[in-house]
Every structure is written in structure tokens, then in C-alpha cells.
Structure 1
Amino acid sequence: MTDGIHYLDARGPDGVRLYAIGDVHGRLDLLEKMHERIAGEIERDRPADWRIIHLGDYVDRGPASRGVLAFLIAARRRDERMITLAGNHDIGFLDFLVAPSKESLFMQFGGIETAASYDVRFGRFFRDLDRFHADLVQAVPPEHVGFIRSRRFSVSFGDFFFCHAGIRPGIPLDRQISDDLIWIRNEFLHHPNLHPKVVVHGHTITREPEVLANRVNVDTGAWRSGVLTALVIEGAEKRLMTAQA
């Protein structure tokens, strides 16, 4: 199968500049720097219209998950052109608040740091899961829960499809399921053929952003690398930009 859009031929919608930002994972410092850079570009260039698309995974691993959520909530309140998609860690946070488990994604992969950002501790001297869960439920503002719960799993502009993890090859874009959009890896990452649109995603950490014929991965592991990456699309022009610690 060769039908589809190649990255080199893909175009964004006329008159709209797109910024797609990779996994933040609690790095409020980098998110703020990225937004400062983007705001500076928009002020300088005055594009006719724009969208800033956040590809999910706002929480876990990094030190300031609470701050990241508060920042994004405020940004969307100011301007609905701020688009925030759901990632698997964001949904895992909600899952833990509903049904705590030590084997959960939240507890195994960075949720301890998320809880700490709400001043709730679990560690060497305090390991009562029920008490930890109860304290966390009490500490997380309902606004944060509602924000994550209401996130979309994908969005499309022009020849580009944006989601957290990727798509199930061979399935129409409008029939993709949420589990694949936030979790898929191998079947998507190793798919050799073009997709109906170029997929812009995060979820799988790479040292450098991956720009391939059928997909672009902008997850450069900001929580540990100190580098947050975004893809910028304007018409036929595409470029990468970073915010660094």
C-alpha cells in the first residue's frame, strides 16, 4: 500500500500556523520557555491564525505536574486555540484517583512525583497506599480532574493528524480507538507505508526528534533530557524548535 501523504508533500491548512509540542511530564520550566518562544514568534510574524497543540503526558516523572496542569488550564481559558490532547499518563492519573493500585502506571512510572507536586508523599517512611490515595484525592483540585477528563484524543489539521502515541495502521483515522491513540508503539512505529495523513506524536522517547515519511515524533524525553521539542507547520514549511533547561 503506497497511497497516503508523504511528509515532504504534506501541508498545513492555509493561513494557520501550527505548533505541536511533545511530552512535558511535569517540566513546567520548559513548557513556559516554549510558550515564551512561541508567543515571541507570533508577535513578530503576525500569522493570520495559529494553534498550539499539546500532545499529552502533562503529568508524572518531572517535578511540577500540578503546575503544568494549572498553566494549561489558564492558557486554554485565555485562548481556545490552545489545544490539549490526552496522553496515557494523564489517563493513568485519573485511573489511579478512581482505583488505586501499586501495580498501576501511576505508581510504577512517575506518579510519586506527580503526587509530590500536590504535597502528598509516598516513599521510604510512608507507604500506606490507602492513606496516600485518600490524601491525593483530597489534594487534587476538581478543576484538574475535569480538565484531564475532557481532553480529546486526537485532532487533525490539513495533511497532519495529531495524537499522543500513534495510530493503528490500516484503520481509518476517524475510527481509531482511544487506547491505540495513547498507547500504541510497535505496530505503528515500524509501519513502513504512508498513512492517510502524516501522524505527529510523542509517547516514545528518542534522543533527537524523528522526522520520517509517515510520522514525526517530538518526544525528546523532556523530563530527563531537559529538552522539550515542537514541530512547527505553516503551509508547506515545517521546522523543529526546542526549549532547553
Structure 2
Amino acid sequence: MTSEGISFEEAAAPEGLRLYAIGDIHGRFDLMAEMHARIMDEIRRDRSEDWRIIYLGDYIDRGGQEAQVLDFLAQITSEEPRVQALAGNHDQGLLEFLSGNSLDNLFVNNGGETTAASYGVALSADAPREEMQRTRQALLEAMPQSHIAFMRALPLSFTYGDYFFCHAGVRPGVPLEAQDRHDLLWIRQEFLRHQGLFGKVIIHGHTPVRRADVCPNRVNLDTGAWRSGLLTAMMLEGKRKRLLEVALS
């Protein structure tokens, strides 16, 4: 511990609590289901006193199994409060599209066609506004309300012990409790290039890397699952840290 913050090496989870953080899913239900099952097997095997499984956001777009991902997460988070999910920028993009306020946004131009297709709806980024409105209405009607309610309720961050969990990262120099919503969902270079310690170790996704990026001040668990077929998670218990990987074609 220093006056500036705490390093990954020294960081610890709260006593008696095992934490799992899982990187960006992006519609890969196959990978998510395998990872979740593996984690639950560990929890049962080790008879963990208490635990949390934290999904770091971006559940949709590009992978092709988005409806299955949201169905699983909406159900399990309602039944088991120890399974928690954060908002990602792609998730917020879908909500913006469904609201009708932004019909030419991240969702439309960055993978939303696979999300729509998973609900049986065709989406084209080149469609005129009138057709896009019809697509929006069709998607609203096709998506279960439980999926939409789940996404609307997603928080932006969690804090446990010496760890701060969010989707994209934080702005250096701003207290963690005062971070801006846009930064928590979108920030990249200002955060990734920062060499100093934060108040806590930041566990995040958002920026795809070939393998988990473990730094003194942050851990990036987004290994581009939708394209690479590799989903990465990290277990945190006391001062122990361990990476988990699920790889499928």
C-alpha cells in the first residue's frame, strides 16, 4: 500500500469472500455457459464461505447468441444475488436504440445485426430511417421484457476489498466514487496508459487483448471472445489471484 493506492500484488479481497470477474461476452453464450459452470463447480468443490461472480459488461453484439446470453443473465441474477452484472457500452447502445432517441449509433454500426438476428429481427445499418423505426419496433416486440429490464437495471461499478470493477476503466486523478458514467463505459487510452496506482486495483474489460493484461494498477479481462473463441476470468480470494480460460472454436 502507498499513499497513491494499492498494487495488484498487494491487493486483497475481503476476508471470507471469493470473487470471480468475467470478461466481455459479446454474444458467446457457449463460452459463457462453460465458464459459469466451471466457476460454480469450483465454488461447490471448495465449499466457499461466500462468493460473487461479476460479469464486466458487453453481453451483446457480434457473437450470434445474444438472446441466450441475456436470457441466462436475466434469470440467474434475479434468482441468485451473488451473481452480478455490470453495464457495458454495447449494452447501453442497445438501450439507446430501443428508446428511439438514437437510430444511428453504436448498436446499429458495431454488431447490432447479430443481436437483432438472435431475436429473429433483420437489421441493416444502411436502412432508411423509416425502416430503422420498424426494425426498432420489431426488436422491442421480440425481446422479452425481462431482458430489457435486466439491461436497464445494470449498475456501472462494484467495489469489493481492494478491487474496483467496471466495464471500461476510470479517469486518472478522479476519485473512484466520483467517476463519470461515460468514462466507466467508454474510456480507453487515458486510462490504459496511466502508470500510477489508483485507490484500488481496477478490474475491467472493454479493450480486447490477446491474453489477460495484468498490470500493477489494473487487470484487463477482455480477450475478444466473439472473435478469438477465448473467454477469460479471474479468481480473487484473500491475496490469491488466478486466471481462468475457456477456449472454443
**TM-score bracket, shorter-length normalisation:** over 0.9
Distance 1:95 1:102, change over 3 A: closer
**How big is the alpha-carbon RMSD for the aligned residues of Structure 1 and Structure 2?**
1.7
Superposed CA offset, 1:21-69 (max 9, x none)? 0000010001100011001101111111100000000111111111101
> Counterpart of 1:225?
228
> Within 1, Cα distance between the matches of 2:189 and 2:221?
17
- Alignment check: 8 A CA contact 1:2 1:193 kept: no
> Counterpart of 1:72?
73
> Within 1, Cα distance between the matches of 2:117 and 2:192?
33
> Identity over the aligned pairs, expressed in percent?
51
Alignment of 1:24 onto 2:25: yes
> Counterpart of 1:166?
169
Q: Tell me, what secondary structure is at the counterpart of 2:27?
A: coil
> Counterpart of 1:190?
193
> How big is the shift at 1:122?
2.4
- Alignment check: 8 A CA contact 1:101 1:107 kept: no
> Within 2, Cα distance between the matches of 1:201 and 1:10?
15
- Alignment check: 8 A CA contact 1:52 1:81 kept: yes
Superposed CA offset, 1:142-201 (max 9, x none)? 211111111110000010000000001111111112111010001100001000000000
> Within 1, Cα distance between the matches of 2:125 and 2:110?
17
Q: Tell me, what secondary structure is at the counterpart of 1:151?
A: coil
Q: How many residues are treated as equivalent by the alignment?
A: 245
> Counterpart of 1:56?
57
Alignment of 1:202 onto 2:220: no
Per the normalisation by structure 1, the TM-score is: 0.96
Please list every run of 5 or more consecutive structure 2 residues that lacks an aligned counterpart in the other structure: none
The correspondence of residues 1-245 of structure 1 with structure 2, limited to 5 A, is 3-99=4-100, 101=102, 103-123=104-124, 128-245=131-248
> Within 2, Cα distance between the matches of 1:124 and 1:169?
35
Q: Tell me, what secondary structure is at the counterpart of 1:243?
A: strand
Per the normalisation by structure 2, the TM-score is: 0.94
> Within 1, Cα distance between the matches of 2:212 and 2:233?
9
Distance 1:124 1:153, change over 3 A: closer
Runs of 4+ in 1 over 4 A off after TM superposition: 123-127
> Within 1, Cα distance between the matches of 2:171 and 2:127?
41
Q: Tell me, what secondary structure is at the counterpart of 2:158?
A: strand
Please list every run of 5 or more consecutive structure 1 residues that lacks an aligned counterpart in the other structure: none
Q: Tell me, what secondary structure is at the counterpart of 2:174?
A: coil
Q: Tell me, what secondary structure is at the counterpart of 1:240?
A: strand
> How big is the shift at 1:137?
1.5
> Within 2, Cα distance between the matches of 1:149 and 1:180?
18
